């Protein structure tokens, strides 16, 4: 099983062929099947003798892959799509073939060095100081959790230093548009979420944050504010500069969740929306969303990394001799120990194509989103819900309710046309499309929107 014999050679070649074809051709859309259908098609695959390489690959190619939706299909418009470059995707194969662990400098110095260069590019987009750094984690969810754990640790340390007791409850201030992973992180940490009101533009502002902090329940202390740089539902960038003022005055950690939208800092046409982001204490940007990296990859960056080290470093007899602060150990900066160097496909692609190509690709998706906005605005049966700030376009179809949207989405998927899913805006059903794939065209969107015309 571990020898590289003739059989392994054949297996490797057939897997490479499969990968080459997948990368060369238009991605299929495909769609889910029931467990029963899959059981009928795939049968048992885990057997004492093994079913062999060609058979396992055949069942994958014939049945398992087609029951899984390709997020890089140009009309995958739901949630936040993923559209990795070929360079990034294929480098994932290299990473997977190499058994390299990205936890520590000892294990993975070369990779950690490269990952840090890629992190630095994101930190530079945000104008964070030279001291900034962090690591790549699985996603925005893990990035938000790790950042908030660091923020609370810091708040505890400050209290200890000041000789103050711990409060009854810790809380984080966020808005109703904050991503669900912040609420999930708060549950993991057993802390409360205090919701601050958004303004008429659905934007969180410094004064609302200040009110939320002042209005906290007696016995509760706020240890962090989460501002969103590109909300998932509508692509709204919170008023970061004003929020940073409030955080500075209150002495509270500012975490900026740019999991989806942070990539747009690379686009000059919208960069000013992010003004103030340079003042954050921590930042999350997901390369697997809008920076053309395969799943799963999120950049987590701290202004002052030693604070994160104090919160996250794990101690054990076998770790302590190699984990110290003279070298960069990514596992010190998040809730993680063993770690895939998941920033490497992103690094490779960034190195291959250059940052100008990234800027242009992101600008291109923004232009397609603006054109989609115009299509919606021009259609008498459609209502544009907000002026898009980034690449999310949200709208309603006159006279439709949630069931109508769902039926329409189901039909588009069944036909293999597109993946869309309904959302909720102001407690009422709506549709949104999110464009991060440079291969999504205005024609793709027109093709989808035309099916909303009365009588279509």
Ligand X SMILES: *Cc1c(COP(=O)(O)O)cnc(C)c1O
Give the residue with the Cβ less far from ligand X, 205 or 397.
205
Draw the binding track, 272-291, toward ligand X (x: CB under 6 A; -: no contact).
--------------x-----
Give the residue with the Cβ less far from ligand X, 80 or 384.
80
Binding ligand X (rule: CB under 6 A), the pick from 71, 77, 78, 80 is 80
In whole angstroms, what separates CA 90 from the centre of its chain?
20
Binding ligand X (rule: CB under 6 A), the pick from 152, 179, 312, 396 is 179
3-state secondary structure string across the chain: CCCCCHHHHHHHHHHHHHHHHHHHCCCCCCCCCCHHHHHHHHCCCCCCCCCCHHHHHHHHHHHHHHHCCCCCCCCECCCCCCCCCHHHHHHHHHHHHHCCCCCCHHHHHHHHHHHHHHHHHHHHHCCCCCCCEEEEECCHHHHHHHHHHHHHHHHHHHHHHCCCCCCCEEEEEEECCCCHHHHHHHHHHCCEEEEECECCCCCECHHHHHHHHHCCCCCEEEEEEEEEECCCCCCCECCHHHHHHHHHHHCCEEEEECCCHHHHHHCCCCHHHHCCHHHCCEEEECHHHHCCCCCCCEEEEECCHHHHHHHHCCCCCCCCCCCCCCCCCHHHHCCCCCCCCCCHHHHHHHHHHCHHHHHHHHHHHHHHHHHHHHHHHHCCCEEECCCCCCCEEEEEECCCCHHHHHHHHHHHHHCCCCECCEEEECCEEEEEEECCCCCCCHHHHHHHHHHHCCCC
Question: Which range of residues in 32-40, 70-78, 254-262, 344-352 is near ligand X by CB under 6 A?
Answer: 254-262
Give the residue with the Cβ less far from ligand X, 142 or 449.
142
Binding ligand X (rule: CB under 6 A), the pick from 70, 85, 104, 141 is 141
Give the residue with the Cβ less far from ligand X, 391 or 440.
391
Give the residue with the Cβ less far from ligand X, 142 or 171.
142
Binding ligand X (rule: CB under 6 A), the pick from 257, 281, 332, 389 is 257
Confirm or reject binding of residue 293 to ligand X (CB under 6 A). Answer: no
Residue 343 CB, nearest approach to ligand X (Å): 14
Read off the tokens for 78. 């739901």
Residue 294 CB, nearest approach to ligand X (Å): 12
Confirm or reject binding of residue 329 to ligand X (CB under 6 A). Answer: no
Confirm or reject binding of residue 181 to ligand X (CB under 6 A). Answer: yes
Strands 392-397 and 382-384: antiparallel
Give the residue with the Cβ less far from ligand X, 85 or 233.
233
Cβ–Cβ under 8 Å, residues 230 and 390: yes
Confirm or reject binding of residue 139 to ligand X (CB under 6 A). Answer: yes
Confirm or reject binding of residue 436 to ligand X (CB under 6 A). Answer: no
Confirm or reject binding of residue 423 to ligand X (CB under 6 A). Answer: no
- Could you tell me how many residues of this chain bind ligand X (CB under 6 A)? 13
Question: Which range of residues in 87-95, 139-147, 318-326, 331-339 is near ligand X by CB under 6 A?
Answer: 139-147
Give the residue with the Cβ less far from ligand X, 81 or 140.
140
Give the residue with the Cβ less far from ligand X, 201 or 374.
201
Confirm or reject binding of residue 140 to ligand X (CB under 6 A). Answer: yes
Draw the binding track, 206-245, toward ligand X (x: CB under 6 A; -: no contact).
----------------------x---x-------------
Question: Which range of residues in 9-17, 121-129, 253-261, 385-393 is near ligand X by CB under 6 A?
Answer: 253-261
* Binding stretches for ligand X (CB under 6 A): 80, 139-141, 179, 181, 228, 232, 257, 259-260, 286, 298
């Amino acid at each position: 099983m571990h020898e590289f014999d003739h059989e392994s050679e054949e297996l490797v070649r057939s897997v490479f062929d499969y990968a080459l074809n997948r990368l060369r051709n238009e991605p299929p859309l495909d769609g889910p099947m029931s467990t029963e259908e899959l059981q009928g098609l795939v049968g048992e695959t885990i057997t004492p003798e093994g079913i062999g390489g060609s058979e396992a690959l055949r069942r994958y190619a014939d049945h398992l892959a087609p029951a899984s939706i390709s997020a890089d299909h140009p009309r995958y418009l739901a949630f936040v799509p993923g559209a990795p470059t070929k360079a990034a995707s294929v480098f994932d194969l290299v990473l997977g073939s190499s058994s390299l662990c990205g936890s520590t400098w000892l294990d993975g110095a070369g990779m950690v060095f490269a990952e840090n260069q890629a992190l630095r590019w994101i930190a530079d987009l945000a104008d964070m100081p030279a001291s900034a750094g962090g690591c790549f984690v699985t996603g925005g969810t893990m990035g938000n959790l790790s950042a908030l754990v660091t923020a609370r640790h810091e708040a505890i340390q400050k209290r200890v230093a000041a000789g103050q007791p711990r409060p009854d409850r810790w809380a984080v201030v966020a808005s109703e548009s904050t991503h669900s992973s912040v609420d999930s992180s708060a549950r993991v940490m057993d802390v409360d979420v205090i919701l601050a009101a958004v303004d008429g533009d659905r934007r969180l502002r410094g004064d609302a944050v200040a009110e939320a902090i002042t209005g906290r329940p007696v016995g509760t202390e706020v240890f962090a504010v989460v501002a969103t740089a590109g909300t998932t539902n509508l692509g709204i960038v919170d008023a970061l500069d004003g929020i940073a003022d409030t955080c500075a005055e209150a002495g509270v950690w500012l975490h900026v969740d740019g999991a989806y939208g942070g990539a747009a800092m690379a686009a000059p046409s919208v960069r000013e929306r992010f003004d103030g982001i340079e003042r954050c204490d921590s930042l999350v940007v997901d390369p697997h969303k809008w920076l053309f990296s395969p799943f799963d990859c999120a950049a987590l960056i701290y202004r002052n990394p030693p604070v994160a080290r104090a919160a996250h470093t794990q101690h054990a007899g076998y770790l302590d001799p190699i984990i110290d602060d003279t070298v960069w150990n990514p596992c010190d900066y998040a809730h993680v120990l063993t770690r895939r160097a998941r920033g490497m496909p992103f690094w490779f692609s960034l190195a291959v194509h250059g940052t100008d190509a990234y800027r242009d690709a992101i600008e291109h998706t923004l232009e397609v989103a603006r054109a989609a906005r115009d299509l919606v605005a021009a259609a008498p049966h459609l209502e544009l819900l907000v002026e898009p700030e980034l690449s999310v376009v949200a709208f309603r179809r006159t006279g439709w309710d949630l069931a109508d949207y769902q039926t329409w989405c189901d039909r588009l998927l069944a036909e293999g046309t597109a993946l869309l899913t309904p959302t909720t805006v102001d407690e009422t059903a709506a549709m949104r499309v999110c464009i991060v794939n440079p291969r999504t065209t205005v024609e793709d969107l027109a093709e989808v929107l035309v099916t909303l015309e009365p009588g279509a």
